[in-house]
Amino acid sequence: MIQFFHVSKQYVKTSYALQDINLNIEKGEFVFLTGASGAGKSTLLKLIYKDELPNKGQILIDSININLIPHHKLFKLRRQIGIIFQDFKLLPDRTVFENVAIPLQVRGEKKTLIDKKVTNTLNLVGLSHRKRYLTAHISGGEQQRVAIARAVIGNPKIIIADEPTGNLDTELSIEIVKIFEKINANGITTIIATHDRNLINLFPKRVIKLDHGQITLDQTVEVEH
Amino acid sequence: MKFLIQSLVNGIASIGRNKLINFLCLGIIAFSLLVLGIFNYIAFNLDRYSSKLTESIEAIFYLKEKADPASIQALVRRLQANLLVKEVGYTSRQEAEMKFSQDFPELNYVMTEFPESPFPASVEVTFKKDAEVNTQVVAFIEDVKKHPLVESVQLNLDWARKIAAAKKFISLFGYFLGFILIFVTVFIIFNVIKLNIFFRREEIAIFRLVGATDWYIKTPFLFEGSVLGLVGGILADLLLLVLVRFIPAAVGNVFSFVGQMFDVRQIPWRILAELVITGGVIGLFSSLFSLKRYVR
């Protein structure tokens, strides 16, 4: 599903954000991407949705070399990927419903379909009772669930979450990861970047650890008791 | 179609979100277009007045003494054939003398001193209403003046010439000022759209991440610029109508000449439509430039 071949990324000439990364993530996999701040987690995710370009190497998504996708066709790649951020990136002057509806609106979907899908997705993340609220007026955990709903509503093949629990307490973080598990159970490849080791230990998933732009660990973690 | 309507709604909503900036922008656009409209209006009226003058232009070609009737007939026919000419009349020497006697009977005794009519024969030419291009009329008269039968010419073209020169000057000055004001308007709309892009950069980033096409993101801004230009044009129209209604009337009371030139009740739809269309086009292109520069 996602393949990296000798991918390197430099923001400055003197150091590597990512160095010679080789990676293969299968369809439907659930992966934790971990490492200290500045290890290259966010850069790796940005390369997947082509927010950044690699200096070296090739990245294939669904066997398509994304380096070759021209700018005006980038929207096709982005529609296959649901992206979630630590700071949620919601529009504060719009309601929960309106925020979740954005991916469908940009695709020109009909209002009836949008109403139906947004309602179903809000049910999935347990937020149907908040749909008329402005996102500025709901809690951090709820905002993150809105962001998740927005990411999944367009039926993406891949979900990417960059520190989605960074602003949440442990209890809410577990709740959020459980939602990701539910999404992943539908066959959606899920990649979560987090530096929260305790959270990773609670879920038996594949863990890829980055350190100074290089993969230092790639294994499936067993649940600790 | 649904996409365009949605983009238009988004564009108008964006204008509503930044009321102060957009209100100032509208004021500047309206002022710039108003100045253009005023010059257009003045040029239009000078043009009309100059046409009126041309309509009443009469050229009198005085003929040489020894002009034979056949040559005179040929000259009259040649004049009649010209597209600028409305009517051609011929006055023989005897007819000129009779006219003089009728107009000035108290001077009839002078005529007795002359064995034959002292007046030259003449050909009077009046020009058509649509012969408003004075340069053509002048060229025609200059051409006829060179005819061997013609001794001299008398015409009332001076005013028409002056008006034509004034119109040319006003038009050129209007174009010059218009160019500067259009540049200012483009600059203003360009920067308003830039500011709106800046205000909405988070939204644009989110749209990009969820797979919006470039046109989905850009079209509302294009509508925003166009709507600003169109509304600016409509405001300029309203201001122009008010100015045209009151100012020439006030000036006309003082200078009857101005009153004669400017028909206070009339402003052509063409000028009003031009202002709105110019506003819309400027708005569209200014926002396009801004988007090209700031939304990549």
Same domain assignment for residues B169 and B276:
yes
Q: Up-side HSE of residue A39: CA atoms within 13 Å toward CB? A: 18
Q: Which helix (H) or strand (E) holds B126?
A: strand B122-127
Indicate if B126 and B263 belong to the same structural domain: no
Shared domain for B282 and B143, answered yes or no, is no
Q: Could you tell me if B12 and B94 lie in one domain?
A: no
Final residue belonging to a domain, choices B104, B134, B155:
B155
Minimum Cα–Cα distance from A153: chain B residue: B210
B168 shares a domain with B80: no
Q: Which pTM was predicted?
A: 0.69
Domains detected in chain A: 2-220 (3.40.50.300)
Q: Mind listing the pLDDT tens digit for each residue in A73-109?
A: 999 999 999 999 888 899 998 999 999 999 999 998 9
**Residue-range definition of the domain harbouring residue B127:** 57-155
Q: Do B125 and B151 share a structural domain?
A: yes
- Cα separation, A145 vs A140, in Å, equals 9
Q: Does any CB of chain B come closer than 8 Å to the CB of residue A157?
A: no
Per-residue pLDDT at B238: 93
Q: Is residue B134 predicted with pLDDT exceeding 70?
A: no
Task: Calculate mean pLDDT across residues B159-164.
Answer: 70
Q: How confident is the model at residue A165 (pLDDT cuts 50, 70, 90)?
A: confident
pLDDT digits (tens, 9 = 90+) for B38-69: 888 888 877 777 666 666 667 888 888 877 88
Q: How far is CA B152 from CA B87, B119, B219, in A?
A: 19, 13, 68
Asked if residue B36 and residue B91 are part of one domain, the reply reads no
Shared-domain flag, residues B180 and B35: yes
First-to-last alpha carbon distance for chain A, in angstroms, is 32
Task: Report the chain A residue with the minimal C-alpha distance to residue B206.
Answer: A89
Last residue of a domain, one of B121, B155, B189: B155
- How far is B34 from B240, CA to CA, in rounded Å? 6
Mean pLDDT computed over every residue of chain B = 82
Query: CA of A129, closest CA in chain B: separation in Å?
Result: 24
Question: Residue B125 above 80 pLDDT?
Answer: yes
Does residue B275 sit in the same domain as residue B223?
yes
Rounded Cα–Cα distance for residues B43 and B270 (Å): 13
Structure tokens at B214: 């470039």
Q: Is A132 exposed, middle or buried (0-12, 13-18, 19+ CB in 10 A)?
A: exposed
CATH of the domain at B120: 3.30.70.3040
Say yes or no: B86 and B206 in one domain. Answer: no
Nearest alpha-carbon partner for B45 in B194, B226, B257, B202:
B257
Q: Which of A49, A52, A75 to mutate to test the interface with B (most CBs of B within 10 A)?
A: A75
Give me the residue from A72, A78, A105 closest to B209, CB to CB.
Answer: A78
Separation between Cα atoms, residue B68 and residue B93, nearest integer Å:
12
pLDDT digits (tens, 9 = 90+) for B167-177: 788 778 878 88
Q: What ipTM is given for this predicted complex? A: 0.88
